[in-house]
Amino acid sequence: MTDIKKVNLLGLSPDKLIEFFESIGEKKFRATQVIKWIHQKGAESFEEMTDVSKALRAKLEQICEIRGPEVVSQNISSDGTRKWIIRTEGGKNDCVETVLIPDGDRATLCVSSQVGCSLDCSFCSTGKQGFNRNLTPAEIIGQVWIAIKSFGPMDPNGPRRVTNVVMMGMGEPLMNFEPVVDAMILMMHDHAYGLSKRRVTLSTSGVVPKIYELVKRTDVSLAISLHAPNDALRNELVPINKKYPIAELIESCQHYLANLPDKRHITIEYTLMFGVNDNEEQAYELAELLKVLECKINLIPFNPFPHSGYEKPSNNRTRRFQRILADAGYTVTVRTTRGDDIDAACGQLVGDFHDKTRRSQKYIELREVNS
């Protein structure tokens, strides 16, 4: 007899969990009980669920499971940053990374959505890896689960171990739409992690049609990876711009904000690369471009990785760029690198695994030929 594949309850959104319980002839409220056990108390087995009848526990044991992703390694940096390498179900090298960055009374978790990425931005090491596969909802929410559990048994009345989530790890979240939406719903749901919609942020390089879809499904905060003040340069750095140019992207952001129930802003991410997109004229051009959008700007000095071909600007250049935007009236932050001793910065994720993929190999060979 072959084993029936058990349903992993970890990744089911509240609605899907209700559907599941109804499909096995059980009452709705069971879904609420189970969701709290999994996401607030960290249960890994049905045995622990003491307010669920023995008979139902035995039934659940037969047909479902609670299975978090496999942790290959966990590192804790001297500054408190924690990093996990997680093996997804695809195979030996299908790994992604999750990073937790504490900062005062905040702790921001950077979550991955795909193994690799198909969008091939020129300065991104994940892009160089090519696309391997999408994460399942359980693998996405499982990153939050693992991060909280790393502090000991989960306690819904204890201190919050994760206060903010940013979908800024590996992958383009809008290219893995349904699983990402399900996981974000769990992050914000009162019976699960209960994070405020202002503290869950999706970052996208600009998959415009999906931005219109997103606002119909959730009201998370939105960050846009812009990186250039005009289409000519953005086409080079962020190839999806050729399909959805800046004007269309800005329009989709305006629509997103207009359709939220509350007043919010877009976060514009701008990775500064020396001599590429960091000169004064480009700062003025960016200030002009963004006039029509309610936004804050986050400058990210480029994080180098082998064979990238880019360099980060000096602190002076970064500050000059920041000042021009600030003088034009924008709120501008500069992202500081954290977790340096464990390679936890943007664009440095799962370094060891990158070199094993085809696109990366081709890229390295090309660079070597040209050098």
Q: Which is nearer to ligand SAH, 129 or 204 (CB)?
A: 204
Q: Which residues pair with 182 in a beta bridge?
A: none
Q: Are 308 and 125 in contact (CB under 8 A)?
A: yes
Q: Which of 205, 267, 318, 360 binds ligand SF4 (CB under 6 A)?
A: 205
- CA separation for the pair 46, 34 (Å, rounded): 9
Return the number of other C-beta atoms located less than 10 Å from residue 113's C-beta.
Answer: 27
Considering the complex, what minimum distance in angstroms separates the CB of residue 227 from ligand SAH? Answer: 6
Which span (50-58, 72-80, 114-122, 297-305) binds ligand SF4, by CB under 6 A? 114-122
Alpha-carbon span 108 to 169, nearest angstrom:
12
Q: Which stretch binds ligand SAH (CB under 6 A): 52-60, 85-93, 198-206, 208-216?
A: 198-206
In whole angstroms, how close is the CB of 124 to ligand SF4 at the nearest point?
A: 3
130: alpha, beta or left, given left = phi > 0 and alpha = psi -120 to 50?
left
* Residue with tokens 């290219």, as numbered in its chain: 175
Could you tell me the sign of the dihedral formed by the alpha carbons of 198, 201, 206, 207, in that order? negative
Contact predicate 114/127, CB 8 Å: no
Cα–Cα distances in angstroms (integers) from residue 147 to residues 113, 185, 371, in the given order: 15, 18, 42
> Other C-beta atoms within 10 Å of 321: how many?
25
Binding residues: 117, 121, 124, 171-172, 203, 225-227, 303
Q: How far is the CB of 177 from ligand SAH (least distance, A)?
A: 13
Residue of 130, 95, 98, 99 whose CA lies nearest to 116: 130
Looking at beta carbons only, is 121 or 147 nearer to ligand SF4? 121
145 binds, among ligand SAH, ligand SF4, none (CB under 5 to 8 A by kind): none
Task: Please say which residue, 101 or 124, places its beta carbon nearer to ligand SAH.
Answer: 124
| CB of 13 or CB of 205, closer to ligand SAH | 205
Q: Which of 136, 204, 277, 318 binds ligand SAH (CB under 6 A)?
A: 204
Given 95, 97, 269, 295, which residue is catalytic?
97
Binding test (CB under 6 A) with ligand SF4, winner from 35, 88, 120, 246:
120
* C-alpha of 101 from chain center: 13
Rounded to whole angstroms, the Cα distance separating 339 from 79 reads 6
**Is 182 an interacting residue with respect to ligand SF4 (CB under 6 A)?**
no
127 binds ligand SF4 (CB under 6 A): yes
CB-count exposure of residue 257 (10 Å: 0-12, 13-18, 19+): middle
HSE-CB for 265 with a 13 A CA cutoff: 15
User: CB 64 → ligand SAH: shortest distance, Å?
Assistant: 31
Indicate which of ligand SAH, ligand SF4, none lies near residue 120 (CB less than 5 to 8 Å, by partner kind): ligand SF4
Q: Which of 69, 127, 167 is nearest to 354 (CA)?
A: 127
Burial degree of 163 (CB within 10 A; 0-12, 13-18, 19+): middle
Among residues 17, 96, 107, 121, the one that binds ligand SF4 under rule CB under 6 A: 121
Q: Is 271 in the site for ligand SAH (CB under 6 A)?
A: yes
Residue 23 token pair: 């499909």
Q: Which of ligand SF4, ligand SAH, none does residue 176 bind to, with CB < 5 to 8 Å depending on kind?
A: none
| Binder of ligand SF4 out of 18, 117, 181, 345 (CB under 6 A) | 117
Asked if residue 172 binds ligand SF4 (CB under 6 A), the reply is yes
Is 97 among the residues known to form the active site?
Answer: yes
Chain positions contacting ligand SAH, by CB under 6 A: 123-124, 168, 172, 203-205, 225, 269, 271, 300, 302-303, 346-347
Chain positions contacting ligand SF4, by CB under 6 A: 117, 119-121, 124, 126-127, 171-172, 205, 225
Which are the catalytic amino acids? 97, 346
